[in-house]
């Protein structure tokens, strides 16, 4: 179990690093596009790269973002609960989160298969859509594992 927990964190972190690198690439590309556009040599398809780069930035930040607590919660009521009740509520909400993201990951997988068969591609570079869909599927699957890790911690008695 220890290896599983550490493995989840490592994969989450790796995706987060990839998201950061893609964000840095987006900044550089947009900068060069603005400069070259004024020299009448715009970078063809830069918007498309930014657009789909955005999906990697957002999608790949979800699992590690969750570990860092990048989600808004309303805790005015749960903070006032007794430790035991709070733990039970935490377990219930973690279970809902796991099921929700497993469901989303599964549907993203189906969507990926769908767009792969239909052959949908981006307008400029004709990049197929399905890799983005599968990438998001992987990210959401990892998100459910991340919440599962959280659940294990709650069950073991650690604070959420």
Q: CB 123: neighbour CB atoms within 10 A?
A: 10
Asked whether position 23 contacts other proteins by CB under 8 A, the answer is yes
Q: CB 78: neighbour CB atoms within 10 A?
A: 14
How many helices and strands in the chain, by DSSP H and E? 4, 0
Binding mask 126-155 for other proteins (x = CB under 8 A): ------xx--x-------------------
Asked whether position 61 contacts other proteins by CB under 8 A, the answer is yes
Residue 69, Ramachandran bin (φ over 0: left; ψ between -120 and 50: alpha; else beta): left
| Residues at the site binding other proteins, with contacts judged by CB under 8 A | 16, 19-20, 23-24, 26-27, 30-31, 33-34, 47, 50-55, 57-59, 61-62, 65, 68, 70-78, 89-90, 92-93, 96-97, 100, 103-104, 107-108, 111, 132-133, 136
């Amino acid at each position: 179990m220890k290896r599983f927990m550490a493995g989840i964190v490592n994969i989450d972190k790796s995706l987060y690093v990839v998201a950061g690198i893609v964000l840095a690439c987006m900044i550089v590309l947009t900068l060069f596009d603005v400069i070259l556009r004024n020299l009448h040599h715009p970078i063809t398809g830069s918007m498309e790269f930014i657009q789909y780069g955005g999906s990697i930035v957002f999608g790949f930040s979800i699992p590690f973002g969750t570990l860092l607590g990048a989600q808004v919660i309303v805790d005015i009521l749960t903070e006032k609960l007794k430790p035991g009740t709070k733990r039970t509520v935490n377990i219930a909400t973690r279970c809902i989160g796991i099921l929700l993201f497993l469901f989303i990951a599964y549907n993203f997988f189906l969507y990926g298969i769908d767009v792969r068969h239909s052959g949908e591609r981006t307008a400029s570079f004709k990049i197929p859509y399905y890799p983005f869909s599968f990438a998001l599927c992987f990210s959401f699957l990892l998100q459910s594992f991340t919440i599962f890790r959280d659940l294990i911690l709650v069950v073991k008695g650690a604070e959420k």
